[in-house]
Chains A and B, each alone.
Chain A
Amino acid sequence: MKPRTADKIATGVIVTFSSIIVAVLLGLLGFILFRGLSHISWSFLTSVPQTIRAGGGIGPQLFNSLFLLVLTLIITIPLGLGAGIYMAEYAKPGKITSSIRLVVEVLSSFPSIVVGLFGLLLIVNTFGFGFSLFSGALVLTIFNLPLMVRVTEQAFRGVPKEQKEAGLALGLSKWKIIVSILLPVAIPNLVTGTVLAAGRVFGEAAALLFTAGMSTPRLDFTNWNPLSPTSPINPFRPAETLAVHIWKINSEGLAPDAMAIAAGASAVLVILVLIFNLTARWLGRVLYQAFTASKVIK
């Protein structure tokens, strides 16, 4: 076969494969939006769900998903950044470092149902946090840490080592170099990692069944005391997220419009992920530009 022909065939195969992936994604997205969009309205987004009657909304679940995202990121980002920076900049190559890396990788392949049960036994029962947003956030952190650590490590390793040397030669401390020279350059990759972690938070259901719970107390959105059981911002209350809600009404929903609600909620979830994704990337770009005085990423 002529090299030119081989090249054409290879190109064709690759293009076909990518087209299949894009087609599947677009098809799925289109399907979800097509089925769900018509059901989305302001009252659907803000009102509480109904058990038997039609016309229920997803207000509390929507809020729960967003609040759980915030809580999870508050725990995940510092831990992931810290461990990732340690792996990239402090850990000496050797047995301990590679065993840490192995543990992190194994952690990422745990089935979510197992991690959920683990959370139920340890966090919910033994530690007594009960079915709560906090328990859910901890379990999601277990999922997200491997990703966050790995992304952080790679983001920092990806900065040319000449940058670090230049800092050292100027008499900067290691910490100063990490914070002021490496971190700004690593930001776009860290944002990507955070976006992926966030996707997991929005989408996870199995592990949250056992930790954040399947119910939401009657929330009083005028009550902002974080310790009150009816306050929306109390992290120690049970909280059904959007993904869990979709699963629940699909499998045991009694309301006559359960299917429509599930479709609407799915569409909302997809749009939510999309919005978060775009916002995070925009923010990452703004930060990168501010720190590096540049106009373009990479």
Chain B
Amino acid sequence: MMQTTFRTENLSVFYGKYEAVKGIDMNFPEQSVTALIGPSGCGKSTFLRSLNRMNDDIAGSRITGKIWIDGEDINAPGTDVIELRQKIGMVWQRPNPFYKSIYDNIAFGPKYHGIKDRRKLDEIVESSLRKAALWDEVKDRLKQSALSLSGGQQQRLCIARALSVNPRILLLDEPASALDPVSTAKVEELIIDLKKELSIVIVTHNMQQAARISDYTAYFYLGSVVEHDKTDIIFTNPTNTNTQEYISGRFG
């Protein structure tokens, strides 16, 4: 049996009075990819963002229920959100590298969190970029602006940046939907590779992508999880007709 480190318990997210996410219980097993699918506005991105408390800054948002990481409730009053977010990396739909050099994009987080030794930083930069399969493409231009990279490279840089602080969990919000097919394939390969080391939660609108890379799939509809199971079961033999219609492209 796998050791569970990350789960939600009756998690609801409200924007004002509106309940965007309705009482979700979900386990994210280690070393696996969980895909969140569902039509736009179904609450999957909101759910994802609540997992590293990115909704904190949104006026009027409120959370009930619990999110447990290693037995700790991340919304408990004493939680250090800065420490928490080091454990949970996040990558968005649109690549958002800092307006800095490629090197500084990666080194920035570790430096801020206390690593001052130049050689150690160099190592982190190299290993993060290698993990993100970008090292060979950028090793001769680390001092150049990250914005000089192509969209696909920028996205892999963002993944490398997320990895630079050694997270245990990686949250991906449609990480490949703004990329061309070649870059998408690279990012997908990368995700499969990375799950050896961390738990990955990915929101995607691309059914084939969910089927290709995830171990578990959760189907969201109107803020609730309709079905959550192993990916091959969801895609070959879903119990819910709504799920089946969505994944076969009949609506959504």
Contact = CB atoms under 8 A, between A and B. Distances in A.
Nearest to B59: A92
Q: State which size class the interface on A falls in.
A: 20 to 34
Contact of B98 (A93, A163, A168, A295): A163
A68 B88 CA distance: 51
Given A92-B59, A166-B158, A176-B112, A171 B165 contact: yes
A167 B146 CA distance: 15
A169 interface: yes
A35 B245 CA distance: 82
Q: Which 9 A-B pairs have the closest CB atoms?
A: A293-B101, A162-B96, A169-B90, A171-B85, A292-B99, A171-B86, A170-B109, A294-B145, A293-B145
A172 interface: yes
12 contacts: A163-B98, A165-B90, A165-B92, A169-B162, A170-B108, A170-B162, A171-B112, A173-B82, A180-B108, A181-B99, A185-B99, A295-B145
B99 A294 contact: yes
B228 interface: no
A24 to B, nearest CB: 38
Contacts of A92: 59
Q: State which size class the interface on B falls in.
A: 35 or more
B89 interface: yes
A291 B100 CA distance: 7
B112 A165 contact: no
A213 interface: no
Interface string B77-95: 0000011111011101010
A293 B144 contact: yes
A295 B148 CA distance: 10
Interface string B99-115: 11100100011001100
A170 B104 CA distance: 13
Interface string A82-111: 000000000011000000000000000000
A169 B113 CA distance: 13
Contacts of A292: 99-100, 145
Contacts of A176: 112
Contacts of B164: 170
A12 interface: no
A171 B54 contact: no
A170 B100 contact: no
A176 B101 CA distance: 18
Interface string A174-193: 00100011001100000000
B99 A165 contact: no
B34 interface: no
Nearest to B111: A180
B66 to A, nearest CB: 21
Contacts of B88: 169
A160 interface: yes
A171 B110 CA distance: 10
B207 interface: no
Nearest to A185: B99
